Homo-oligomer: A and B are copies of this chain.
Amino acid sequence: MSARRLDGAALAAEIRAELAPRIARFTAAQQRPPGLAVVLAGTHPGSEIYVRNKIKTASDAGCHAELIRLEATASLRDAVMTVRRLNADDRIDAILVQSPLPNGMGAQAERHVFDALDPSKDVDGFHPDNVGRLVQKRPRLVACTPLGCIELLQRERIPIAGAHAVVLGRSDIVGKPMALMLLHRDATVTICHSKTPDLVDIAASADILIAAIGRGGFVRREFIKPGATVIDVGINTLTSETDLERFFPGNARKREQFARKGSVLMGDVHPEVAEVAGALTPVPGGVGPMTIAMVLRNTLTAAEQRAGTRAETRSAGL
């Protein structure tokens, strides 16, 4: 028995095709395309790839997409000033500041920079005002990775209402917004983390299991209720041949990739889980492409809301 493969790449292509006419309508009505600005500070190799994908996806879809590079030596003040300039730039509807920021900006750099974002342009939904609105079930812009997971579940017709959803991980970026989004769709939700004593038993009670802990192959066969849906949010890089053999024995494709690049990607979910789960997202090709598609959709949503919000503000009269 082998789990159904939840093909995020194919669904992301479907979403991009659906967004195309909305982008064209916006561009025609506003006499300009939706605008995305991505701020990249320093030269983190992973970040370069993510940023390139986001820019290319937005640009290919007909958005204005610009990359603002800051030196690795840039200060926190430089980053905040860049955000403020983009807040004031009317051609920009959506601002994405790529994490991590350089160490030199300090431990709380992301927080300061996200707080400086105009919430209506906060394409990642990290500003406290957007987080609060998500909790209050009146979302404006919400985090792209959990949003992509919801979209994937819905398009694959996996029932959320009435399901027991277990979220492994409690980060601000994935775990907590994921739990709220599942709750608002009538799942019963359990959030587990590094301090959960009986993690395996709780995971094994899940109809939907979301793995977002950042440890390659951590979720094993015994974590899974037979037939459960497993969403693997982890993106981990294997660089040792021992790990390659441990996780992917006899996998010719992975072995070839490893020989070529010196590394392979794997999720938080062990490959053996495919023998027990009912449905499973691959890594790569599962949650990753959905996240990028949600960056595009949020860019368009931000653009539409900004265009609409201006009219609403005029007429609210309070």
Complex Cα distance, B296 from A309, in Å, reads: 38
CB A74 to nearest CB in B, in angstroms, measures 14
Which residues of chain B are within 8 angstroms of A193 by Cβ–Cβ distance? 183, 186, 188
A9 within 8 A of B: no
Given contacts A132-B131, A172-B135, contact A195 B186 (CB under 8 A): yes
A133 within 8 A of B: yes
Given contacts A80-B318, A128-B136, A132-B130, contact A188 B180 (CB under 8 A): no
Which residues of chain B are within 8 angstroms of A131 by Cβ–Cβ distance? 128, 131-132, 135-136
Which residues of chain B are within 8 angstroms of A170 by Cβ–Cβ distance? 183
Q: Mask for A225-240, Cβ within 8 A of B = 1, else 0?
A: 0000000000000000
Which residues of chain B are within 8 angstroms of A80 by Cβ–Cβ distance? 318
A197 within 8 A of B: yes
Task: Give the most central of A80, A130, A132: most B CB within 10 Å.
Answer: A132
Complex Cα distance, B180 from A183, in Å, reads: 13
Q: A180 touches which one: B76, B176, B202 (CB < 8 A)?
A: B176
8 Å CB interface, A49-99 against B: 76-77, 80
Instruction: Name A161's closest neighbour in chain B (CB-CB).
Output: B195
Q: Mask for A152-167, Cβ within 8 A of B = 1, else 0?
A: 0000000001101000
A144 within 8 A of B: no
A112 within 8 A of B: yes
Instruction: Name A194's closest neighbour in chain B (CB-CB).
Output: B186
Asked if residues A197 and B318 are in contact (CB atoms below 8 Å), the reply is no
A190 within 8 A of B: yes
Q: A188 touches which one: B132, B138, B196 (CB < 8 A)?
A: B196
Complex Cα distance, B164 from A193, in Å, reads: 12
A189 within 8 A of B: yes
CB A200 to nearest CB in B, in angstroms, measures 12
A129 within 8 A of B: yes
A192 within 8 A of B: yes
A191 within 8 A of B: yes
8 Å CB interface, A187-244 against B: 188-193, 195-198, 202
Instruction: Name A197's closest neighbour in chain B (CB-CB).
Output: B162
A297 within 8 A of B: no
Instruction: Write 21 A-B pairs (CB below 8 A) sorted by A numbering.
Output: A76-B318, A80-B318, A111-B136, A116-B318, A128-B129, A128-B131, A128-B133, A128-B135, A131-B131, A131-B135, A131-B136, A132-B132, A135-B135, A137-B172, A162-B196, A164-B202, A176-B180, A183-B193, A186-B195, A189-B190, A190-B191
Nearest first, the 9 closest Cβ-Cβ pairs linking A and B are: A128-B132, A131-B132, A132-B132, A190-B190, A186-B195, A188-B196, A131-B135, A128-B133, A189-B191
